């Protein structure tokens, strides 16, 4: 089974999606710029009006420290900035270009959230669907885990989310991706014992997202084909560079292995900037977008191995401060309404509804010295006056 999208289109999938769109089209505001085919280029206008800000941003994010092979400091591969549906800034480095898909790591989780929203809108899944509806012979207690728990990282699985240099020998992520779970990753996760009652604790988990795409693969493939992610999401958005890797069992690796160009990542952000609308039709339910980018109930409960600025909706990161809950906005100089998708080593899509902007960055940051707040503060200034 290929990880790449075959050239055929699933006719029945498009019919179903069209029915959903038609039923919800009236909720969309009229937008004149849609980048399905290409982004309108306003980069020269932005450079003329905000040259000083652009120079400051480029010094901050495109200046390499030491030799490239040393992998120290900020290591930006690309930045793309969208304002009011126009491409106002784009720059590539270190051998990358506009046509080369980039591994996004955990940005993939936000893609998984969107696909789940489409599955729910099509009536294939509900938030209360149990994982036992799709996985046989699980420990009985695991049947309490639902799609909603997976979306909000509240499954309660006994899971260790650590990466390189943090405990490779105990990492559940490494075991799933590269060890005993690599053949059938979602089944590996589904069989994990519970540490906590589902819904009572928050723990960020690549396993939860991977299990969720296992359920999506099982629930959508029969009716919509193996290309469901392309037919339902990527193709309508014009995200032609999109690739998701699969494990040997055929499941999409929906926690970490999605690739796309920065321009295509900006298209995905633009879908959420427009509350799920595309080409002035409701592609993803507005309620799903709102819930995905709102604080989940579990954020007020016990948070395991989570920093104060780890604030999430349904697989999106939020910019909320809540002293009562011990939550600190990760980008304090940006609007509280901002939200984003974030991945290992510096991948990000940030959406700013009040500024009508989307900011994308791909990178290879290894030492965690990059300060996203400082970058985003300059990025949104490039959009001033445009």
Structural domains present in the chain = 11-382 (3.40.710.10)
- Token pair 């105990």 is found at 170
Q: Classify residue 251 as exposed, middle or buried by CB count within 10 Å of its CB (0-12, 13-18, 19+).
A: buried
**pLDDT at position 10:** 39
The alpha helices in 1-50, defined as continuous H runs, are 11-24, 43-49
**pLDDT at position 121:** 98
Global confidence as pTM: 0.93
> In angstroms, rounded to a whole number, what is the distance separating the alpha carbons of residues 36 and 279?
8
Query: Pick from 80, 44, 83, 87: which is nearest to 61 by CA?
Result: 80
> In angstroms, rounded to a whole number, what is the distance separating the alpha carbons of residues 384 and 386?
6
**Phi, psi at residue 277, to the nearest 5°?**
-90, 145
**pLDDT at position 325:** 86
- Token pair 């769109």 is found at 21
- Token pair 């599955």 is found at 119
Query: Pick from 129, 107, 128, 198: which is nearest to 158 by CA?
Result: 198
Query: Pick from 157, 190, 177: which is nearest to 305 by CA?
Result: 157
**pLDDT at position 167:** 58
Q: What is the pLDDT along the chain (386 residues), one digit of tens a residue?
A: 334 443 333 333 444 444 444 444 458 999 999 999 999 999 999 999 999 999 999 999 999 888 888 889 999 999 999 999 999 999 999 999 999 999 999 999 999 999 999 999 999 999 999 999 999 999 999 999 999 999 999 999 999 998 876 555 689 999 999 999 999 999 999 999 999 999 999 999 999 999 999 999 999 998 999 999 999 999 999 999 999 999 999 999 999 999 999 999 999 999 999 999 999 999 999 999 999 999 999 999 999 988 899 999 999 999 999 998 889 999 999 999 999 999 999 999 999 999 999 999 999 999 889 999 999 999 999 999 89
Pairing between β-strand 339-343 and β-strand 347-352 as defined by DSSP bridges: antiparallel
Contact criterion met (CB below 8 Å) for 88 and 382: yes
> In angstroms, rounded to a whole number, what is the distance separating the alpha carbons of residues 182 and 160?
16
- Token pair 């309508």 is found at 236
Query: Pick from 4, 16, 51, 18: which is nearest to 227 by CA?
Result: 4
Q: What are the strands, taking DSSP E only, across the chain?
A: 40-41, 76-83, 86-92, 102-103, 201-202, 243-244, 258-260, 277-278, 281-282, 302-303, 317-318, 339-343, 347-352, 357-363
Pairing between β-strand 258-260 and β-strand 277-278 as defined by DSSP bridges: unpaired
């Amino acid at each position: 089974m290929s990880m790449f999208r075959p050239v055929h289109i699933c006719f029945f999938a498009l019919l179903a999606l069209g029915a959903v769109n038609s039923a919800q089209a009236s909720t969309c505001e009229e937008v004149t710029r849609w980048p399905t085919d290409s982004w309108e280029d306003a980069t020269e206008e932005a450079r003329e009006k905000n040259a000083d800000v652009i120079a400051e941003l480029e010094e901050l994010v495109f200046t390499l420290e030491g030799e490239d092979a040393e992998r120290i400091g900020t290591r930006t591969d690309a930045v793309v900035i969208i304002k009011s549906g126009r491409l106002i800034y784009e720059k590539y480095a270190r051998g990358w270009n506009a046509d080369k898909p980039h591994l996004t790591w955990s940005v993939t989780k936000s893609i998984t959230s969107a696909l789940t929203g489409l599955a729910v809108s099509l009536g294939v899944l509900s938030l209360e669907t149990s994982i036992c509806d799709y996985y046989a012979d699980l420990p009985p207690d695991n049947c309490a885990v639902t799609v909603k728990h997976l979306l909000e990282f509240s499954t309660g699985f006994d899971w260790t989310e650590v990466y390189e240099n943090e405990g490779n020998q105990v990492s559940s992520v490494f075991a799933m991706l590269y060890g005993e779970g690599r053949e059938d990753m979602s089944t590996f996760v589904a069989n994990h014992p519970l540490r906590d009652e589902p819904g009572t604790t928050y723990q960020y988990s690549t396993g939860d997202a991977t299990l969720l795409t296992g359920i999506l693969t099982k629930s959508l493939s029969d009716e919509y084909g193996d290309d469901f992610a392309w037919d339902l999401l990527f193709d309508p958005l014009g995200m032609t560079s999109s690739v998701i890797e699969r494990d040997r069992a055929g499941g999409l690796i929906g926690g970490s292995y999605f690739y796309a160009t920065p321009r295509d990542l900006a298209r995905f952000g633009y879908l959420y900037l427009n509350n799920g609308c595309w080409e002035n039709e409701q592609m993803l339910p507005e309620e799903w977008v709102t819930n995905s980018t709102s604080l989940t109930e579990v954020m007020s409960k016990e948070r395991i191995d989570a920093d104060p600025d780890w604030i999430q909706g349904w697989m999106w990161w939020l910019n909320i401060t809540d002293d009562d809950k011990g939550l600190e906005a990760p980008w304090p100089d940006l609007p509280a309404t901002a939200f984003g998708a974030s991945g290992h080593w510096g991948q990000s899509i940030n959406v700013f509804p009040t500024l009508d902007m989307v900011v994308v960055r791909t990178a290879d940051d290894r030492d965690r010295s990059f300060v996203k707040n400082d970058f985003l503060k300059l990025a949104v200034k490039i959009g001033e006056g445009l």
